[in-house]
Structure formats: C-alpha cells, structure tokens
Amino acid sequence: MIKEIALGVVAALFIVFLWQGINVAPLLFLAGMSALLYFLLQTRSGFNSKNFSLVNNDKAHNLVKFEQIGGQETAKKELLEALDFIRYPHKVAKMGIRPLKGILLVGPPGTGKTLLAKAAATYTDSVFLAASGSEFIEMYAGVGAQRIRQIFAQAKNLARKENKKSAIIFIDEIEILGGKRGTHLSHHEYDQTLNQLLVEMDGMSTDKGVRTLVIGATNRADLLDNALVRPGRFDRIVQVDLPDVVARKEILKLHVANKPLDANVDLDQLARETFGFSGAHLESVANEAAILAMRERQERITQKHFHDAIEKVMMGEKLERKPDKAELWRVAVHEIGHALASERVRPGSVSNVTTTPRGKALGYMRQSPENDSYLYTQQYLEGQIFVMVAGAAAEEIILGNRSTGACNDFEQAVKVAKQMLAAGMSALGTVSLEDLPKSLLHREIQQIIARQQANAEEYLSRKHNLIVELAEILMHEERISGEFIRTRLQEEQKCAG
Ligand code: ATP
C-alpha cells in the first residue's frame, strides 16, 4: 500500500516538474539507478527469492500421525520421548531439565524421516516449516545466513499468528549447510550459513513465547560439523533404518489400505521378498501394483501384480526393445548360468528367470526370499560371488567367450570381495583397507573372485547339456520358474546317478 502511494506521489511530482518546464532527465537517471540498486539488494539478500515451504496446521502435516508410519519403532520411541519436552514444558522445567533444541534423524533416503518430522509437528500441535539444506546455499555470500534468520523469524511469527506455542523447523539434507567448516571451496558462504544456524539455535532458549525445535535429516551424519552435533545443539541423534520384515509388512499394509486387493494377496510373502526396500520403495510397489491392475482392466490387485511391481521397482520399467536372436541366446545362457549356480549354493533359491529387458538389464534371475540377515559368513559371501560370476562362466562354456553383460555382476563381486577383505576373511588376515597398498588390494580381490570363477566353470561345465536345454526353453518362453529348473536338475542328477 505504502509502495503504491509513494509511486503515485513520485509520478505526480514528475508531471508537475514537466508542467513547470524543469529538466527531469537527471532525476529520471537517478530514479533508474536507485531502482536497479534496490533490485540487486533484494535479490542478494534473498528476501524475495525464497519462500520456505510452509506446511502449517490446517491441512498438510496434520494428516501425518505417528500411527501412519510403519515400523521405525525405536525411532518413534526416541522421538516421542524428546517431543514430550515440548508437550509438557512445565514438567520438564520442574525437573530442571534444559529444553531440547535439535533432533537429528539419520538414515538412508525414503525411510520416513520427513514423515517423522511432520508427525512430530502434529503430535506437539506445532507449526511446521520445511526447507532443504540446498535452499540455503547460493553463490552470494551472506544469503544463506540471511535465509536462516528468515526461517527462524518466520516460524515464530507464524506460531504467534496461529496461536501455537511451538514451532518445528525441518531441514532436510542438513549436511549441505552443516558440513564441516573449512571443507568447502567457497567456504566463507557455507561457514557463515552454519554459524548463523548455530547462533539461532543458541538463542532459541531465550525466546519464552514460542518453543522452537529444529529437526534435521541426513544420511551422512559423518559429514556434519562437530559444533552442530555437540550437546546443546542437536542433542538427540535418532537412527532411522531400513525396515525389517515386520516393519515392511506394516508399511505395505498402510499403503494398500485404500486399494482393492484380491484374496490371494499375501503381504507376509511380499514383505519377505522386499529385503532392502525402504518405505518409499514399498509405497511405490503398492502404487505400481494398482497401476498394473488398472492397465489390465482388473477390479482387484492380485499377488502377480505385486510381483511385477516389485520387479519394476527393483529393476526399472519393462523395455520395448527386443534383442536379436544371437543376443537373446547369450542372455538366456547367462541367466541360466546364474540360476544353476544359485541352486547349487542354496537349493530352492531360484524364484524365476527371465529374458525380459528391464531398466539396464537384458534379463535377470530372481531369487526367492531369505530371512533378513545382517551378518554373513565367509561361506555365504563366497557363495554369492560364485552365483555372480556364473553368468559369465556359462557364456564362456557355451559360447566360448564373454560379453559386457557381465560388467554389473563383476562390480557386485568386487564389492563382496572387499567386504570379505574388510572382515579379515582373506589370506591377508585382518587388514585396514585404507592402509593396504592398492596393488595388494587389487591382487587379493582378483584371487578371491578367480577362485569362485574356477569353481563356477568347473561346476557348469558338468552341466553343459542342461544349460543348453534350459536356455533354449527360456529363449522361447521368455520366463521359466525356479520350480521347473529344480525338476530338470533332479531328473538330470538321477540320470547321472
Ligand atoms: P529423503 O531422505 O529422501 O528425504 P525421507 O527419509 O525423508 O527421504 P520420506 O520423504 O519421509 O523419506 O518418505 C517418502 C515416502 O515413503 C513417504 O511419503 C511414504 O509414502 C513412504 N514411507 C517411507 N517410510 C515410511 C514408513 N515408515 N511408513 C509408511 N510410509 C513410508
């Protein structure tokens, strides 16, 4: 309003000057320069350029409650405990406990950190402001610090406006602005931003009106500056891990609650099959299954839709491209190699084999679920490498050479071999991978993999005819079941016996 009146007055003055015959060119020049200067200052300070996503109490975050977050029991428990500091400030003050200022949620992407922060705001009836670490960093020095001041002020103002007693500021990817000081190239800007955050957090307890809590989320807590994680700043570090089998079932249950399911859908089995999936992956599985059912004009989502959805989330969308016959033959041989090796180390483990191209893979062998394990023995890891290199071994035996199709298998095999070295399972004994000369590390990895390659070639060369037979069937059928492979293996063993 004031801006409009001022503009009106200036315009009127110009008209009067013109009327009086006064030369207004210098004034016009001066006004133009002032406008330009004003614009530059505005952009630099970031006043207009950023609006942090405000999710206040009316719609969005109020929809998220702790009950709608599957699993994460430990994280929820720790968070709830910390939030009681906000909910019951008098109790806390009576005990002489200093209020919590920050909670750090640490975990891989898609595990529900944002959901937990939103649920925290609902639980404490707070206003909720969300921003990502990258939103604070710009090329102009001082902008980040300005934005930090802005978000803290915004949180307080909003809480007062909404008559709330508390505000939660959620900063995702906090490692971007809270990284160790002095490590960035343009470190002055980064350091200033982090310093401002520390200043704001230190000043939080002096504001009696609105209690503010900062929730930070990261999957790289190791990158954070020590000053940020010291007591009195981010007092609590809550681990938000990938869900285990029970949590996966719970998350799936939450995401299928609004979907029409066929009676054959078995969530226990789906939970077992999705080891390593995050909450976001599971949400995507439920969604993709519903899309597949709709594409087929089915009224209900079946177990098969879920299986296809898991494959899609794991490997990517089915590709239209059809490889030529020679390529298809190679893919079939390669996948049968993996499948026979998998049955060798873990009988009953193959779920199915297919030559349908998906994502980056031209075909793949899927193993049936194992129990969630977090510890692996040397024998298990060697078995894994044996299965990984068996695709290339089958190509070598049947086609006389290898192809680039095995690149990903070898990358995985190297990872597992490194894991073995780190766990002291190699001939080198207990070693520190960082201190090991590169050439020695390389030689040891090569030896571990070469042993399994020799084992795979030895085993598969005894299965020459079976590989050819199964690969021919796979080429024509596009998919064969683990059951079929097991039957043929048994028959072959009987004949050999
Ligand atoms: P990022 O680190 O990538 O920001 P995040 O850990 O913050 O990820 P969210 O954004 O909270 O993850 O989760 C993404 C989506 O995944 C949610 O909207 C929800 O649909 C689903 N999801 C994740 N975890 C859970 C869970 N524990 N229960 C139910 N749904 C979940």
Which is nearest to 307 in space by CA: 320, 288, 279, 323? 288
**Euclidean distance between CA atoms 41 and 196, whole angstroms:** 20
Is the pLDDT assigned to residue 183 strictly greater than 90?
Answer: no
List, for residues 377-434, the tens digit of each pLDDT value. Answer: 999 999 999 999 999 999 999 999 989 888 889 999 999 999 999 999 988 888 888 8
pTM of the model: 0.76
Q: How far is the CA of 100 from the centre of ligand 1 (A)?
A: 24
212 contact partners, CB below 8 Å, separation of at least 6: 101, 152, 155, 156, 166, 167, 168, 169, 204
Q: Is pLDDT above 90 for 461?
A: yes
Ligand 1 environment, Cβ below 6 A: 69-72, 109-115, 172, 217, 251, 254, 279-280, 283
Which residue minimizes the CA distance to atom 8 of ligand 1?
110
For residue 458, how many other CB atoms are within 10 A of its CB?
10
Nearest CA to ligand 1 atom 1: 109
Write out the two tokens for 132.
Answer: 């990502």
Answer with the residue of higher pLDDT: 452 or 492: 452
> Ligand 1: which of 114, 244, 281 to mutate, most ligand atoms within 8 Å of CB?
114
Q: How far is the CA of 284 from the centre of ligand 1 (A)?
A: 11
Is position 335 annotated as part of the catalytic site?
yes
Q: Which residue's alpha carbon is nearest to atom 16 within ligand 1?
A: 280
C-alpha count within 13 angstroms, C-beta hemisphere, residue 31: 11
Q: How many CA atoms lie within 13 A of 83 on its CB side?
A: 23
Closest C-alpha among 312, 373, 100 to residue 211: 100
Span 5-58, pLDDT tens digits: 777 887 787 788 777 777 777 777 887 787 777 666 555 444 444 555 554 444
